[in-house]
Amino acid sequence: MPELDEVSRRVDDLRARIQHHNQRYHELDDPEISDADYDALVRELRGLEEEFPELVTPDSPTQQVGSAPSGLFAPVAHRIPMMSLDNAFSDEELEAWGARLERRLAAERGDDPDDPDDAGEGAMAIGYVCELKIDGLAMSIRYEGGRYVQAATRGDGRLGEDVTANVATLATVPAELPAGAPSVVEVRGEVYMPVAAFEALNARQAEAGARLFVNPRNSAAGSLRQKDPAVTASRELSWWSYQLGEVEGGPAFARHSETLAWLAELGLPVNPEIRVLATLDEVQAFCRQWEANRHDLPYEIDG
């Protein structure tokens, strides 16, 4: 086993590198490494912190979500925090997650985990919603009285940036919800740049002799952080909705699939490649399908 001092030095090095890449990715929109290489750094740090919990600190990148707001725009406090997703990089990790989920649901129902009948019923009752993870910028969009009033970036999960004027230029973000919508509807989703829009943007950049953009995700983030909304409007950004934040006067849902169906009823864009599946084997097949066909999509996906 390595000496604690040696591990501590490696942890400090990983934190410094991750924080550097966080700034390049979130604040400068100019990443230096691939998502896979970044994920590898985070996984190594998280593994060391799990093995040596005495080295965990509140300011570690593993204890934070996203990044702090840049200061270019007014801050917005999220009434309900915007959390990040966890990762699974193999079938084995997905199966381990599924087992933890079944145990948690069984405990909440008071089932006996050693009773095969209870375990079988629990497995049948779960169901899985499979969605593509859009490679864009997480966004919270708020409607009051059915009217669009605010858009904010995720930021650090609790405090984001007010980009209301810029997001209002997106054709896929409705200015109003249908009659009868709840008094407050806060919708979470992903702003992204379609591949065709990214290629057209870089063609214009090359023609003007300007710097080319690295990828659609960072191009979308940079386009949203423009002081002039007309610049954002020229970048042809789009948006998918996938989750609710604060809602006042709306229905209650027992399943995530019901939430997605309701978002679509409100006229909000919901990705068409969503599937409700019964088993983890089907989930794994869904993942393999899109790993093989991800480049057939008109937008980029992450993971």
DSSP assignments along 79-123, one per residue: SS--PPPP---SHHHHHHHHHHHHHHHHHHHT--TT-HHHHHHHH
Q: For residues 188 and 198, is the Cβ–Cβ distance under 8 A?
A: no
Does the active-site annotation cover 227? no
CA distance 26 to 83: 16
Supply angle C-alpha 51, 57, 61, rounded to 5. 90
| Largest separation between any pair of C-alpha atoms in the chain | 69
250, exposed or middle or buried, with CB in 10 Å at 0-12, 13-18, 19+? middle
Identified catalytic residue from 10, 17, 24, 133: 133
CA distance 101 to 113: 12
Q: For residues 279 and 98, is the Cβ–Cβ distance under 8 A?
A: no
CA distance 184 to 247: 5
For 52, residues 6+ apart whose C-beta sits below 8 A from its C-beta are 4, 7, 11
CA distance 286 to 223: 32
Which residues are catalytically annotated? 133
